[in-house]
């Protein structure tokens, strides 16, 4: 989990192939208590790298809604080779800006051992201006078949997010290093068609979250991705089967 995110949050629910929300934290908790929301559902809010089981969300809720910034908060930063503590937020950002890659680099509040990969931290990614706000982006429940360029072997993993700039997946092994060229096929009930893509691994965190930057994105793939992201944003995630069918007609 990225630590911290922010105190006031709204949530989307993915259940029975539908996306519902946004809901306030209090409503989600009340629906769980009343049995109106199944524990087999998944939940997402801005700042998360993927949809997570709602039971995991409930267990980690206190940390997830912590304030984004604490007065006089000090941090510690570690990589494979070193660890430095007693750093201000600005000092951490200045150090990170000097690095060529953030792979295997994690941060934690100075008085805790809550280590989070930089790439998984909403707070630090925003400060580093790496959240790609120039691209529409949305969480995506689905599967991605990932194949290294020139390899006969493929890996099927969960999708986390998708946007015009790239795809986030969860579960690829450490042998997919930054710079690796890959071919990807994405299948999701929430997309109006499957996607066949080519891209490059840009990061692979120690918690298994992998970012893939697209290259040579076709006009059809761009249309499918933007349609999904816009429907998610404009309808607060609540697009129905009629909207999906209408989108399929536009693409075809």
Q: Considering the domain boundaries, does residue 70 fall inside one?
A: no
pLDDT of residue 115: 83
pLDDT greater than 70 at residue 3? no
What pTM, to 2 d.p., does this model score?
A: 0.60
The pLDDT-based confidence of 138 (bands split at 50, 70, 90) is: confident
For residue 117, which of 104, 130, 126, 129 has the smallest C-alpha distance?
104
From first CA to last CA, the distance across the chain in angstroms is 39
The average pLDDT across 171-184 equals 89
pLDDT greater than 90 at residue 195? yes
pLDDT greater than 90 at residue 187? yes
Q: Is there a single domain that holds both residue 245 and residue 192?
A: yes
Q: Is there a single domain that holds both residue 243 and residue 166?
A: yes
Q: Is there a single domain that holds both residue 93 and residue 175?
A: no
pLDDT greater than 60 at residue 190? yes
The pLDDT-based confidence of 207 (bands split at 50, 70, 90) is: low
pLDDT of residue 129: 59
Q: Is there a single domain that holds both residue 59 and residue 79?
A: no
Q: Is there a single domain that holds both residue 120 and residue 150?
A: no
Mean pLDDT, the chain, integer: 80
The domain boundary, picked from 44, 64, 84, lies at 64
Q: Considering the domain boundaries, does residue 189 fall inside one?
A: yes
pLDDT of residue 200: 94
pLDDT of residue 34: 93
The average pLDDT across 145-159 equals 93
Q: Considering the domain boundaries, does residue 132 fall inside one?
A: no
Quickly count helices (H) and strands (E) in the chain.
7, 15
Cα 212 to Cα 226: distance, rounded to the nearest angstrom: 17
pLDDT of residue 136: 66
Domain limits for position 115: 75-127
Strands (DSSP E) contained in 42-136 are 42-44, 52-53, 75-78, 83-87, 106-109, 116-117
* Token pair in block for residue 74: 């000090």
Lowest-confidence region among 83-92, 173-182, 204-213, 229-238: 229-238
pLDDT greater than 80 at residue 117? no
């Amino acid at each position: 989990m990225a630590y911290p995110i922010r105190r006031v949050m709204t949530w989307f629910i993915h259940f029975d192939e539908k996306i519902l929300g946004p809901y306030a934290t209090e409503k989600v908790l009340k629906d769980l208590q009343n049995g109106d929301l199944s524990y087999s559902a998944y939940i997402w809010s801005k700042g998360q790298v993927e949809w997570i089981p709602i039971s995991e969300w409930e267990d980690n809720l206190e940390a997830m809604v912590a304030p984004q910034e604490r007065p006089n908060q000090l941090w510690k930063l570690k990589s494979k080779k070193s660890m430095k503590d007693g750093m201000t937020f600005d000092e951490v950002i200045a150090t990170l800006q000097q690095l060529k890659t953030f792979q295997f680099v994690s941060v934690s509040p100075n008085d805790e051992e809550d280590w989070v990969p930089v790439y998984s931290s909403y707070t630090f990614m925003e400060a580093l201006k790496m959240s790609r706000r120039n691209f529409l982006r949305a969480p995506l429940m689905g599967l991605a078949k990932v194949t290294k360029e020139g390899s006969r072997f493929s890996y099927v993993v969960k999708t986390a997010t998708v946007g015009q700039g790239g795809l986030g997946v969860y579960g690829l092994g450490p042998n997919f290093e930054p710079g690796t060229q890959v071919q990807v096929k994405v299948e999701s009930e929430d997309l109006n068609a499957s996607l066949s893509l080519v891209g490059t691994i840009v990061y692979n965190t120690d918690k298994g979250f992998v970012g893939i930057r697209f290259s040579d994105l076709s006009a059809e793939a761009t249309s499918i991705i933007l349609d999904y992201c816009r429907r998610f944003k404009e309808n607060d995630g609540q697009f129905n089967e009629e909207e999906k069918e209408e989108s399929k007609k536009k693409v075809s």
